[in-house]
Amino acid sequence: MTTARDIMTSDPRCIGEQESLVDAAKLLADLDVGALPICGEDGKLKGMLTDRDIVVKCIASGGDPASTRAGQLAEGAPVTVDAGDDIRDALTLMQDHQVRRLPVLDDHRLVGIISQADVALALAPVETGETVEEIST
């Protein structure tokens, strides 16, 4: 059985929930990624933050990214998968919740992220295509 741990990108960088959106944008640019996990002071996952979130939920509504904290944009409980779960379960979660990035937890701690690119590199083209199609509709 292929598990979430087998295809995830490990050691993801987090943005702290008290860090500003300016800090988040700089980290996104430095890492050349479109999303970051938001982690609390307790080290636990609080949500996900995308470059689009910064633009649409803060800047476009007149907010100040220098004074807005990443944690302010964490909405609801993030969709996650356990590191030992079958990759099919992870794909189903991504499809059902239409998320392009899925945080991977081990003992309630963030250990990785599964992205569409990880799926494309690890799985057959048919499975990749089905997953991307379901996420994008």
Mind listing the pLDDT tens digit of every residue in the chain (137 residues)?
Answer: 889 999 999 989 999 999 999 999 999 999 999 999 999 988 889 999 999 999 999 999 999 999 999 999 987 788 999 999 999 999 999 989 989 899 999 988 899 999 988 888 887 777 766 776 767 66
Q: Comparing C-alpha atoms, which of 101, 31, 21, 102 is closest to residue 59? A: 21
- Domain carrying residue 59: 4-136
User: Phi and psi at residue 42, in whole multiples of 5°?
Assistant: -85, 0
Please tell me the total count of domains within the chain. Answer: 1
Element spanning 38, H or E: strand 35-39
At position 115, the amino acid (one-letter code) is S
Decide if 105 contacts 92 (C-beta within 8 A): no
Determine if the pTM surpasses 0.75.
yes
Backbone dihedral region for residue 109 (phi beyond 0: left; psi -120 to 50: alpha; all else: beta): beta
pLDDT value of position 132: 67
pLDDT value of position 117: 86
Tokens of 82: 């356990």
